Structure 1
Amino acid sequence: MQIHGSYKISQIKAILNGILIGILAGSTVSMFRWAIQHLMTVMRYLYTQSLQQPIYLIGCVIINVSIALVVGGFLKQQPDIKGSGIPQVEGQLLGELDYSWWSVLWRKFVGGILAIGSGLYLGREGPSIQLGSTLGQGVARLFRQVGFDRQVLISSGAAAGLSAAFNAPIASTLFVLEEIYHNFSTNIWVVSLTSAITSDMVATDVFGLKPVLYMKSTPLPLKYFIWVLILGVILGVLGRCYQFVILRMSKWYRLTRLPWMINGVFPLLLVIPLGMFFPRLLGGGSDIILHLTVAGYSTMLLGLFFLIRFIFSMISYGSGLPGGIFLPILCLGGLIGAIVGNLAIEFHLMPALYFSSFIIMGMAGYFAAISKAPFTAILLITEMVGTLTHLLGLACASLVAYAVIDLLDGRPVYYSMLQQLLKTKAQFNLGKTVQIMETVYAGSEMDGQIVSRIKWPSGSLLTKIQRNGREIVPSGNTLVRWGDTLYINVSTNNQLKITHQLTKLTKET
């Protein structure tokens, strides 16, 4: 009964932590979204006005170069704000790297607003995930949670961040389990779902109940599902092309011979003419997705939009500026679906009534292929579009695209990005960790203390305890005893200092 009661108390504490993280992440990401939307509105106005008044063009150049230099300074100070942030979160949960939560939080927040709000083809969802995870890390530090308990809070923060970005709490939880954590542990999903729902409530209060990508649509009948198979194959092939290019952009950027911190100057100057002539294509892509169903674009124009979005998405992300690929991937998938649907309609092989179904299936299938997370793709689009009637089409397109990219030897894009990140960090010795072992002596400061009450040095993470020949996965309530061998991941940046501090804690006083 005592163990059962203790377990219940532990679960209640975890859920309360999830609610706290959800409130913090929901509030932070809502401010992040609001600021990006308003800055984007201002920049779109300046870009379009530049066609008539050259003084606006000069102003745009000055503003965007200033953004590149400011964000470049942030990147130099804290390289872990680079890109979407999802590979960094994965690496943190795998124990491969660690970073200061506050240092990343505010720089990612400000840098992401400036980079995405300028109109670059970057998404808010990756930065939102990292913002949420750093808040989870901050809560873990506040309550002195380490080991598995700390990982659960970081995971729940990631789910809360994505939920607030897209108002999709179920898909956000599944994304953490399927893509980031690769684990369906009860402890993880309960806290992640709690934080995601809480975060969604906060974001809904700010932005309303309407789904992010709501569009009127009619589900595709089974007699037209041959087009779903064709669409799935195309999505899989083009998804592999996307993976191939985006994973090589950092190498191609080296040809500019600019310091990597200010690579953003190039896309921030290039976005000005794009904003002047194609203002609807700016940003992550939600604007053009919502406009596809009513604009009546020709197939040729849709193809042009796809090429522009594909090329400049690569240039934007490859620069290293804070911003994600999640929404840009959905935009590209929607455009592919629109092109296939348009062709079927133009050849009178399908009624125009089902055009929007292809946009919806294209978004799901393209994301499923590139991320290799089909369950997340299906649920995410379902929640973002606000209808369950397309589930069969979403599932078929996603599975076909997944199978095709698997045959083409494609790997999950975020996992591949993490491997590149770890290789870079190893090369420059940025944030790499090593595992050390410390034996706890009788009478030491650690002897008889529970994990959450020990003053662990910054940059250290307890991962395992070996006691009497058996291994224990530690939690905040685990008791540390003399004779225990502790396995601790330590940052190489301050390895000697951290090791010395740990030795003082484990040796006899």
Structure 2
Amino acid sequence: MNDRQRKKIDFSRINAVAQGILIGLIAGVVVSVFRLLISHGLLLVQWFFRQANQHYWLLGVWVVISVLLTLLIGHWLKQTPEIKGSGIPQVEGQLMGEVEYQWWPVLWKKFVGGVLAIGSGLFLGREGPSIQLGATVGQGFAAGRKISGNKRRILIASGASAGLSAAFNAPIASSLFILEEVYHNFSTMVWITALASAIAADFVSTFFFGLTPVLHISYVHALPLEQYGWLILLGLLLGLFGRLYQLVVLRVGAWYHKLKWLPDEYNSLIAFILLIPVGLFLPQILGGGNQLIVSIGGRAPGIMILLIVFVVRFIYSMMAYGTGLPGGIFLPILTLGAVLGALFGQVLVAWHLASPAVVPIFTITAMAGYFAGISKAPFTAILLITEMVGTLQHLMPLAVVSLIAYLTVDVLGGTPVYAAMLEQSLQKAHHGQSQPVTQLEFPVFENAIIDGQQTRDVNWPEGTLLTEIKRGERVIVPHGDTVIRLGDTLLLNVPQKRLSHVRRKMKQLTGE
């Protein structure tokens, strides 16, 4: 037998990309329709409140609608608690092996519940739910093909990437967000599948919404070098406000829980009713904030108006998210960042320290900085805003502000907000079904304790089994004398009940 006969062609990556593309196309359609319905719902609600300014009896209609929505969505939350909130912590938990749920009830209830909650004008984002919708499509695809284990998680991650890509038309940043913040894995098979899925989903969403970037802000001046010192101050302020955001958003659910007269599933009634004054006086700021960001970027209002908008949106977004409605904080975070950036720029202009022409630059960079601090995903923040705004001129200001905001939150003891939300949910009663054993991947980083050791000499966490080592293009079945090298990816079978302990132990061993 010659060498050509011995050599087998490996189609695994081509197959993974093909599956990612198919999932991306399906998720792209689902999320694009989701996004379209929400935008039409928001326009309808804004029109409704403008009419209510002239016909006050319509406010009674809104109260009735609020009660009906509360009862309906509350019933779904009680039946399927996995549709609660953003959905990103649930997806992250699923990829970590900590959470499991049935895909079909989550898919349709998250879709309909998200349209009703976000489209009603509440300050909730569509991006978190879009990630969960895409991930659920990937889960359903895996279930239909009877794919399990690590390959199943890759498909779920690719669906999540597709969901965010269709929501933001940002395929590169979407792939990176899933790798950096959700999956925490940069292996080749994961990123090529996620990227293929994101590109396919973005291709679909352009048919619905066109090629114009989601947050297209036009400006002609780059930030002068002598103004870069202000970026450091802006990053510090964003870090401080970002840490404040983390503290409040992680506690607001507990504050609602203290309302003994109202079951947790029906807390949304408070948010719906209290939306009335905002709808009557500031209907243009309703919703996740996409329209508001573009408006502020084009022509920023005065200092007092921006301050009022920030306070109102901060309070009401917390109220809405704390109810557990199917809606996220992704876009609301970017909106608050944009308002803070515009406010910062307008103050500098008022004090004759900057030109009005650079205010849009502070608006754009503050979006990235605020998100980088709260999510602690700076690379995603930089790429995301670059793709959403549609220009490369602001890369250096984005990097400076994102890094300073990230470090400020880190010094203040902040953790990635979605990971913190997942930790909170895992402390509560576990819902759904769990498998007794799951598979986890651990890359070997520089200065890892196990670098250069034979597998028999490693003090592996109790109950784990090393089943595979990925080394570049090779897949190694380990033996006792197999030497672990820097850059390897270790695949371990882990008992379901010991996931947290194993993850902490492996971080010490692999140098993460």
TM-score, normalised with respect to structure 2: 0.85
What is aligned with 1:184? 186
What is aligned with 2:414? 410
1:224 and 2:220 aligned: no
What is aligned with 2:246? 243
What is aligned with 2:334? 330
SS in 2 for 1:214: coil
1:291 and 2:295 aligned: yes
What is aligned with 2:134? 132
Mapped contact 2:333–2:371 kept (Cα < 8 A):
yes
Which amino acid letter does the alignment assign opposite residue 79 of structure 2?
Answer: Q
What is aligned with 2:431? 430
Match of 1:399 among 372, 397, 403: 403
Deviations 1:130-173 (A, max 9, x none): 00000000111111111110010000000000000000000000
Query: Unpaired runs of 5+ in structure 1?
Result: 438-463, 479-485, 492-509
Mapped contact 1:465–1:472 kept (Cα < 8 A):
no
Mapped contact 1:46–1:60 kept (Cα < 8 A):
no
1:252 and 2:221 aligned: no
How far apart, CA to CA, are the structure 2 residues paired with 1:264 and 1:2?
65
Cα gap change, 1:4 to 1:66, in 2 (>3 Å): farther
Mapped contact 2:464–2:495 kept (Cα < 8 A):
no
SS in 1 for 2:392: coil
Which amino acid letter does the alignment assign opposite residue 207 of structure 1?
Answer: F
Match of 2:115 among 113, 130, 135: 113
How far apart, CA to CA, are the structure 2 residues paired with 1:473 and 1:79?
37
Give the count of matched residue pairs.
Answer: 449
Cα gap change, 1:380 to 1:91, in 2 (>3 Å): same
Mapped contact 1:108–1:131 kept (Cα < 8 A):
yes
Cα gap change, 1:422 to 1:2, in 2 (>3 Å): farther
1:63-142 aligned within 5 A: 63-142=65-144
SS in 2 for 1:369: helix
Q: What root-mean-square deviation, in Å, do the aligned CA atoms of Structure 1 and Structure 2 show?
A: 2.1
Which amino acid letter does the alignment assign opposite residue 434 of structure 2?
Answer: T
What is aligned with 1:10? 12
1:253-402 aligned within 5 A: 253-257=256-260, 258-402=262-406
How far apart, CA to CA, are the structure 2 residues paired with 1:373 and 1:2?
47
How far apart, CA to CA, are the structure 2 residues paired with 1:317 and 1:191?
31
Deviations 1:204-225 (A, max 9, x none): 0110000000011232111101
TM-score, normalised with respect to structure 1: 0.85
Mapped contact 1:84–1:127 kept (Cα < 8 A):
yes
Cα gap change, 1:13 to 1:348, in 2 (>3 Å): same
Match of 1:233 among 232, 236, 248: 236
Report how far residue 4 of structure 1 moved.
6.0
Match of 1:24 among 23, 26, 48: 26
How far apart, CA to CA, are the structure 1 residues paired with 2:244 and 2:327?
21
Query: Unpaired runs of 5+ in structure 2?
Result: 439-462, 476-491, 498-512
- Using the aligned pairs only, state the percent identity: 51
How far apart, CA to CA, are the structure 1 residues paired with 2:38 and 2:247?
29
How far apart, CA to CA, are the structure 2 residues paired with 1:3 and 1:144?
30
Cα gap change, 1:346 to 1:487, in 2 (>3 Å): closer
Mapped contact 2:180–2:380 kept (Cα < 8 A):
yes
How far apart, CA to CA, are the structure 2 residues paired with 1:268 and 1:76?
19
Mapped contact 1:47–1:60 kept (Cα < 8 A):
no
